[in-house]
Amino acid sequence: MLSNTESRTGTATAVVAHAAGDLRVETVQVPAPAAHEAQIAIAYGGICGSDLHYWSHGAAGESILKAPMVLGHEIVGTITQAAADGTGPAAGTRVAVHPATPGETGERYPQDRPNLSPGCTYLGSAARYPHTEGAFATTVNLPARMLRALPEGLSLRDAALAEPAAVAWHAVSRAGNVAGKRVMVIGAGPIGALAVAVLKRAGAAEIIAVDMFNKPLEIATAAGATATLMATDAEAIAAVQADVVIEASGNYRGLASAVRGSVRGGRIVMVGLLPSGEQPALISLAITRELELVGSFRFNDEIDEVLGALADGTLDVSAVVTHEYDVNDALGAFETARNSAESGKVLLKF
């Protein structure tokens, strides 16, 4: 079972970022997989904020493009050739992908939290050079350890959001027990909307979504938000007094809203990645209210729990996908994904 007419050691159609504003759909070489790698026919890929940054700015934070790089880390597909060393799923297995490779630099970090390992690499990342190629391609080779077999009954299309949903799941887990609590989600883009869905599953009593635009708030409502607020309504946000706030905007103004909207003694989970360098923050207010500011970065094994929850129907993320494009119209897909006022998660179909 091969991807279209491509051979196991041939070519693939891929989405490649060359520089700021230079995104191309082009043919790339697919070598024979290494012994620990399986070859996968990619079915769907979700466009992430980091993909948009590489296209728009030629960099994602401090990760700067120094050479053309295949984008993409939110992918699902079918194994066409199992790993020769016998590890991982068999050929024909439908899989989601955990795109991280923990670093081995010798620096200290909690061993049960490999997402914090220094030097950790991610598919489609320019953090190191040579860059770590992504998987927005019709055929890719990936380490077998990255692959997660889909549960019976879960389609590739429905599993396409497993990776970003795992980011949201990890963020909600950093909040602790949310059952019966009032939770506010600042920023209702794809991660924020997925956090709403996870919070609903976790039993949050109230989920208030906040955003600058109506479309994301509509998506958040469909995902399980019980109320919505415009990000410009500072008075209403301050009146929420949320037990937990998920800050998913990645903007210092969103963090300020989170601090003002928290109940005294509340917890703020910061999953939106602010720009590097110093950022303004209401630290004095956080101190006097004894707020807990908690970071949340990527995820560990939460993707396995997400796949199970998607399969048994307890996690419904269907509202988050708003557009689907053929890979050959990748530029149109990226243009749509960039317009957060009109789109949620945008999928590429391979």
pLDDT at residue 5 in the model: 39
Q: Pick the closest to residue 176 from 264, 269, 273 (CA basis).
A: 269
pLDDT at residue 4 in the model: 40
Per the structure, how many domains does the chain have?
2
Distance CA(80)–CA(350), nearest Å, equals 15
Q: Is residue 304 part of a domain?
A: no
Q: Is residue 307 part of a domain?
A: no
Give me the CATH number covering residue 219: 3.40.50.720
Domain shared by 23 and 153, yes or no: yes
Domain shared by 181 and 221, yes or no: yes
Degrees to nearest 5, angle at CA 95 with 91 and 97: 125
| Backbone phi and psi for residue 46, each to the nearest 5 degrees, phi listed first | -95, 135
The range of the structural domain enclosing residue 130 comes to 11-161+317-349
pLDDT at residue 185 in the model: 98
Q: Is residue 303 part of a domain?
A: no
pLDDT at residue 149 in the model: 98
The H-or-E segment that residue 217 falls in is helix 214-223
Q: Which residues of 172-187 are buried (b: 16+ CB within 10 A; e: fewer)?
A: bbbbeebeebbbbbbb
Domain shared by 127 and 23, yes or no: yes
- Helix 49-57 to helix 330-338 angle, to the nearest 10 degrees? 100
Q: Is residue 5 part of a domain?
A: no
- Answer whether 244's CB lies under 8 Å from 266's CB: yes
Q: Does the bond joining 130 to the residue before it have cis omega, within 30 degrees of 0? A: yes
**First CA to last CA distance, the chain:** 15
Domain shared by 65 and 189, yes or no: no
CA dist list (Å): 317 to 141, 157, 166, 184, 314: 28, 11, 12, 18, 10
- Answer whether 198's CB lies under 8 Å from 168's CB: yes
Q: Is residue 71 part of a domain?
A: yes
Average pLDDT per block of 10 residues along the chain, 350 residues long: 49 97 97 97 97 95 93 98 97 98 83 87 94 98 98 97 98 98 98 98 98 98 98 98 97 97 98 90 97 96 98 97 98 97 97
SS (H, E, C) 84-99: CCCCCCCCCCEEEECC
